Amino acid sequence: MPITWSKEYSIGLDQIDNQHKKLIFLINKLEVLTMYDTKHSDFKQRLDAILQDLVNYTILHFSTEEVLMDMFEYKESAEHKRTHDSFVELIKMEQEKLELLIANGNWQTVEKELTMILKFLQNWLITHILKSDKQYTEFFLEIQKKAKKQGGWFAFLKN
């Protein structure tokens, strides 16, 4: 079942919320692919493209969060970064596993693995947003409020 954006997922920072929406879009795109015939000639190409987009965009998103955490010395940043690193490594390992299964023509296992990866991604993203990311919400909203009073993020950073 595709993920639908909900206000409960909002961090309150537009850039982060928009990136979360894009990640949901990419995961939902992967779900559509699970309905596609794995034996079709362009399945592998579509899968590779979606997974690569997902990995690349996830890295971009994590970098955005981490830069903000570093800039404003968020005290839980090291743990948050470890979570990000573990996730990226796990996705890359799953991508390699799928590559091997496809190369061996093990289509039934490809379908099962893809379904498992999809469920993992859906669960991980929502859990990460609602637990890990929500922990920094108040911290960054307070900084954002101060920044707006001082003329924006860049004015705030100069002080």
Residue 156 has pLDDT above 60, yes or no: no
Sign, CA torsion 51/57/60/66: negative
Residue 154 has pLDDT above 70, yes or no: no
- Exposed, middle or buried: residue 42 (CB in 10 Å: 0-12, 13-18, 19+)? exposed
pLDDT digits (tens, 9 = 90+) for 45-86: 898 899 999 999 999 999 999 998 998 899 999 999 999 999
pLDDT digits (tens, 9 = 90+) for 107-121: 888 889 999 999 999
